[in-house]
Amino acid sequence: MPKYGFWIAILLAVALGYALAHVADLPPSFAEDAGKLSPVQPRARDFYAPNSEALGANEMRIVACGTGMPTARPKQAASCWLVELGNGEKFIFDIGTGSAERIAALQIPYNYLDKVFLSHLHTDHFGDIMALFVGGALMGRQMPLRVWGPSGDTPERGTKQAIEHIRKALTWDLDGRKGITDPRGYHIAATEFDYKAVNQVVYQENGVTIRSWPAIHALDGPVSFSLEWNGLKFVFGGDTYPNKWYDQYAKDADFAIHECFVTVPQMVEKFRFTPQSALAVGTQIHTAPEAFGKVMSRIKPRMAVAYHFFNDFDTSGDILKRIRTTYDGPLSLSTDYMVWNVTQNEIRTRMAITDEDVWPPPATEKPQLPDASQRIPYSDFVGGGKLDVHEVLQPIYDETNKKYGINEKQDE
């Protein structure tokens, strides 16, 4: 056996000598790196890691926090789009079912996530408003959650009434938190605007102007939005049939989102719709891929973004093919955690890499101590059901009081 080891060593030496002798034949980058250790300094990566990079003073970042359909699934939440600006402002457009989880994964302090703009009141566009409202307050939002949304053709169908009733539905939840946690975030305010108004200003602060115009979807009430800041224009269509307002006011946008539903054959095969229902839903209530392409070919954005379909290996190909029958410009077929950085000179498209084990990010302000007098006590019946575990809990109080310099006592 030793003689084989000798010959193996000889062969390895010859191979190494050959490799070293031919380093000069390699491309310059390979030749320069030969023999160096792996890098220990950061370098540009082709993905976005939250909290890993500065946003330029004249830069906009858009994160897809929900791109799917009303049918919930792990891969894609329902409609939600986060817009971050270089001046520090952040805006959420729609907060559909499942999207609060995606927002949490971005590790943004919740005090910066207090502005939500709703395109309409289908649950796949505002179904996670409760999660953002209550969960955001628990995780450090120390101010009210502000919501902007359209009126309806009746008061009962408007945003204001929807938010008021959500607040009422949360009576038990919110009452149960009184006197226990920082109370400042447990307030929600709705600003309702006329869904019929065309290109109206619904928000204007810190150099940011957000406008709305009517959309055509299901009933009267839905709207589309544009956000203009620092010479950049972001457009979010919500759900809509192709319409004259989007055609006019989304023109020449830097970044234009418009729904692009699954194809009629996919609705029949995947969702088991009848052909009649698939045609009605897929081409009249929503926008078919061919019609999406037609819209984008008219407005000519720097980046067209299609959403509201399940982006799978066996669906995206046909959707893309159909879009390309009517549009040949820049295009993103969106999926959750897709990220776009937009400047005057470039639009960079990447995917975000997120941590499934995230904890809430630090609050931006010192928490306010709760007022214990605001607690609502148990009834004698329920309170009388407590087991006496004071003895095992007291060491926890002793340890915590000593560590943090406080003097808390157990409930009687």
pLDDT, one tens digit per residue, over 168-226 is 999 999 999 999 999 999 999 999 999 999 999 999 999 999 999 999 999 999 999 99
28: tokens are 């310059």
Is the pLDDT confidence value at 1 over 90? no
Is the pLDDT confidence value at 34 over 60? no
Q: Do residues 282 and 239 touch, judged by C-beta distance below 8 A?
A: no
Q: Which CATH number is associated with domain 60-351?
A: 3.60.15.10
Is the pLDDT confidence value at 27 over 60? no
How many of the other CB atoms lie within 10 Å of CB of 341?
Answer: 18
Instruction: Tell me how far apart the alpha carbons of residues 95 and 100 are, in angstroms, rounded to a whole number.
Output: 7
Predicted local confidence at residue 37, as pLDDT: 67
Is the pLDDT confidence value at 401 over 50? yes
Read off the pLDDT of each residue in 218-246 and give the average, rounded to a whole number. Answer: 98
Q: Can you say how many angstroms the Cα of residue 292 is from the centroid of all Cα atoms in its chain?
A: 22
Q: Do residues 187 and 196 touch, judged by C-beta distance below 8 A?
A: no
Given the structure tokens 């729904």, which residue do they identify? Answer: 259
Alpha helices in 120-221 (DSSP H): 123-126, 129-130, 136-138, 159-169, 171-175
Per-residue model confidence as pLDDT tens digits over 120-159: 999 999 999 999 999 999 999 999 999 999 999 999 999 9
Q: How confident is the model at residue 26 (pLDDT cuts 50, 70, 90)?
A: very low
Predicted local confidence at residue 318, as pLDDT: 98
Radius of gyration of the chain (CA): 27
Q: Mean pLDDT of all residues in the chain?
A: 92
pTM (2 d.p.): 0.89
Q: Can you say how many angstroms the Cα of residue 244 is from the centroid of all Cα atoms in its chain?
A: 28
Per-residue model confidence as pLDDT tens digits over 274-325: 999 999 999 999 999 999 999 999 999 999 999 999 999 999 999 999 999 9
The segment(s) of the chain belonging to CATH 3.60.15.10 are 60-351
Instruction: Tell me how far apart the alpha carbons of residues 114 and 364 are, in angstroms, rounded to a whole number.
Output: 13
Give the sheet arrangement for strand 347-351, strand by strand. 188-193, 145-150, 115-117, 90-95, 80-85, 60-66, 338-342, 347-351
Is the pLDDT confidence value at 23 over 50? no
How many of the other CB atoms lie within 10 Å of CB of 109?
Answer: 18
How many of the other CB atoms lie within 10 Å of CB of 42?
Answer: 8
Q: How confident is the model at residue 40 (pLDDT cuts 50, 70, 90)?
A: confident
Q: How confident is the model at residue 370 (pLDDT cuts 50, 70, 90)?
A: confident
Instruction: Tell me how far apart the alpha carbons of residues 74 and 63 are, in angstroms, rounded to a whole number.
Output: 17
Predicted local confidence at residue 11, as pLDDT: 47
Is the pLDDT confidence value at 6 over 70? no
Q: How confident is the model at residue 25 (pLDDT cuts 50, 70, 90)?
A: very low
Picking from 137, 85, 89, 95, the residue whose alpha carbon sits closest to that of residue 116 is 95
